[in-house]
Chain A
């Protein structure tokens, strides 16, 4: 996510860092690079202009040029301005005091409305709500079916009516929600071009009928300069309350993220970061700014870890690590928990400084599955004492897991190295191990 942009900006700042003192020409040169980087990232032309002007104004101020680490100061300013650009603090969806809370999703075709209706429903369900999804996309072939299939997957009911107008369906859904005790209504609408009068009228009709608390625009993060036009038109016609940014797991530089808020004033509330239903994150401008500048995002990482890890198990694990009793069985357990945190590549991105190192490393989730299969093919004795695994056992394990003897050997060797490394850690750390420490590259058998 944001990889290209982040790389370009870091390069620029590296150039600045080489200089002890900065003069105005240095700043100007850096700002030219920043401008290029942002434009290549699809940030809207006008937004770039304003952004660069603002940063420049602050950067040529006395406090920067005369400070001891001017480059650091410039980075700080860019960081702050990026946060401001994306809306400052995190904004949540408003839950109506009188249920049901009605959320309406709108956007262009192919932005990901239907998928994100389900992602949002799943997220709200996890928070203890009782969502109901409403299928108001009556145009695209099989769109209703798609929502129904997704509803089945996440066990959230779907309201659909054949042969009726979208606004009527929406109104009927509200009544249905009352009866069924659903407290959140998520309305999926048909994708449309913002210049299509008829369909925009239909959205206004739905809005008038059900008075949603939240109208969220679903925007594809890969959108170019047009993102701003789209957002402006939808905002003018419907009055948007926020934005869901989708497909952020691609290699897009995500300029749309930076532009939409700046132009419409509507905060980005969620970001879609993968194909799985769970891959929806709350959007934190400050954390995102840190990721763009390659500073990592430790906060999100910790939160994810807290969600996925069982506190008691973690403490047990710590004990084991300190006593150097960490076995392959424990390793398997750790892998299970790690998997709960989401795709490995996105986890790695959040670790400060690691994003760049890992640029050319492909993390194959399949390798993880192989490792799992190998460990599962071992007896519990073998898992606890891998040193007893000699050729004949290796052959059996390889057969059992559908891998090769070489792969089994490699895993054992890597595990041994990992244990050695942990000994060093355990000896050197007073309070035991932090959770991040096992992320050391050499120790992960599934990182190539």
Chain B
């Protein structure tokens, strides 16, 4: 756990630099609590992509708590803010795995968020746990997406079920599940083409893929993971809402957290749609996918402050 924590911290170092530096500047030092401070906090949250509404709500709650607990020093606010953020993120939720037979995980998202890469990393994760993994090449639209998945399949030693480019992704899903049943695979990771959530036809196609999966295994898909790019702004909320409606998203994978993107989008999403974040991508390597632990995440976000405190 300690190793995980330090790696997470490392991955989040930029996140911390941006978010925490700003908040840190405001909260450390012997400042008194005043209106200006609250406004500055709200600004810092908005700048982290938390969203205007979420930022306002968080600061309002912080105000209430400060009043209830009769806080006077700016520094004391830090603890409270960290608690509030952790509360908003909710409790961590483990992956839902099938008790018998293959677990089907459907991976969806808009273009360019890192679906195929995430599948490669997930395959590696499950392979390491000794599971037998099948990758279903359901992105039949983008040029060379199938080749990309095959390379990931080789790297992680997972089997790839594919058809030709332009094939019906639902047919690929069907094939993959049949293969999983006959080869007694543990995990099926179903790739899909990136689609903007406001394209009705493409969303209907996704609905069909899901329907076919459920027809073959009634409890499946056991997880529908929405891959979100951490650099995305408020549109991430819209993505979460619409993919939720169409595909019944059960969890979020937040990718590209290793940049300067501030991860505030996680707060924004939790504030508006309740879908737990299950994994985070914090690097380009095969192992750079981590289960999301809300408490750790909140702590890692604010841990820069402890260092600053000395």
Contacts and interface: CB of A to CB of B under 8 A. Distances in A.
Interface string A35-53: 0100111100100000000
A253 B143 contact: no
A255 B147 contact: no
A224 B46 CA distance: 10
B201 A110 contact: no
Contacts of B145: 142, 146
B147 A141 contact: yes
B247 interface: no
Contacts of B260: 194-195, 226, 229-230
Given A222-B232, A230-B231, A141 B151 contact: yes
A362 B200 contact: yes
Contacts of A149: 143-144, 165
Given A45-B43, A193-B258, A194-B260, A40 B234 contact: yes
A334 interface: no
B112 A110 contact: yes
Nearest to A220: B112
Interface in B105-126: 110-114
Contacts of B235: 42, 222, 250-253
Given A39-B46, A225-B49, A251-B238, A364 B233 contact: no
A335 B51 CA distance: 42
Contact of A223 (B52, B142, B152, B233): B233
B198 A225 contact: no
Interface string B40-55: 0001001111011000
Contacts of B143: 145-147, 149-150, 153
Contacts of A108: 231, 256, 259
A11 interface: no
A364 B17 CA distance: 46
B123 to A, nearest CB: 13
Given A229-B260, A250-B197, A224 B49 contact: yes
A252 B196 CA distance: 10
Contacts of A39: 46, 52
Given A110-B111, A112-B111, A249 B196 contact: yes
Interface string B129-167: 000000000000111110110111000000000000100
Nearest to B155: A141
Contacts of B148: 140-143, 145-146
A440 interface: no
A79 interface: no
A148 B165 CA distance: 14
B109 to A, nearest CB: 10
B295 interface: no
A222 B200 CA distance: 19
A339 to B, nearest CB: 15
Interface string A214-237: 000000101111110110000000
B interface, size bucket: 35 or more
A319 interface: no
Please report whether the interface of chain B is mostly helix, strand, loop or mixed according to DSSP. loop
Contacts of A41: 234
Nearest to B200: A362
B262 interface: yes
A36 B52 contact: yes
A224 B232 contact: yes
B110 A222 contact: yes
Contacts of B43: 45
B27 interface: no
A62 B261 CA distance: 43
Contact of B231 (A36, A220, A247): A220
A316 interface: no
A147 to B, nearest CB: 8
A222 B256 CA distance: 14
Contacts of A247: 110-112, 196
Contacts of B258: 193
Nearest to B256: A109
B78 interface: no
A111 interface: yes
Contacts of B51: 40
A110 B196 contact: no
A365 interface: yes
A121 B258 CA distance: 32
Interface in B238-263: 238, 256, 258-262
Contact of B197 (A140, A145, A220, A251): A251
A108 B256 CA distance: 10
A437 interface: no
A205 B145 CA distance: 29
A1 to B, nearest CB: 10
Contacts of B265: 224
Contacts of B262: 225-226
Interface string A100-135: 000000001111100000000000000000000000
B130 to A, nearest CB: 25
Nearest to B48: A225
Contacts of A224: 49, 231-234, 236, 261, 265
B207 interface: no
Nearest to A151: B143
A108 B144 CA distance: 19
A255 B234 CA distance: 10
Nearest to B260: A229
A364 B200 contact: yes
Interface string B183-213: 0000000000000111111000000000000
A167 to B, nearest CB: 20
A223 B236 CA distance: 9
Nearest to A248: B196
Question: What 7 pairs across the A-B complex have the smallest Cβ distances?
Answer: A224-B233, A110-B112, A42-B233, A149-B143, A146-B144, A141-B151, A142-B147
Interface of B: 14, 43, 46-49, 51-52, 110-114, 141-145, 147-148, 150-152, 165, 196-201, 229, 231-236, 238, 256, 258-262, 265
11 contacts: A112-B111, A143-B144, A145-B143, A149-B143, A223-B233, A224-B49, A226-B49, A227-B233, A249-B198, A364-B201, A365-B201
Interface of A: 36, 39-42, 45, 108-112, 140-143, 145-150, 153, 193-195, 220, 222-227, 229-230, 247, 249-253, 255-256, 275, 362, 364-366
Given A224-B232, A224-B233, A365-B201, 14 more contacts: A41-B234, A42-B233, A109-B256, A110-B111, A143-B144, A145-B148, A147-B143, A149-B144, A195-B260, A222-B110, A226-B260, A247-B112, A250-B198, A251-B198
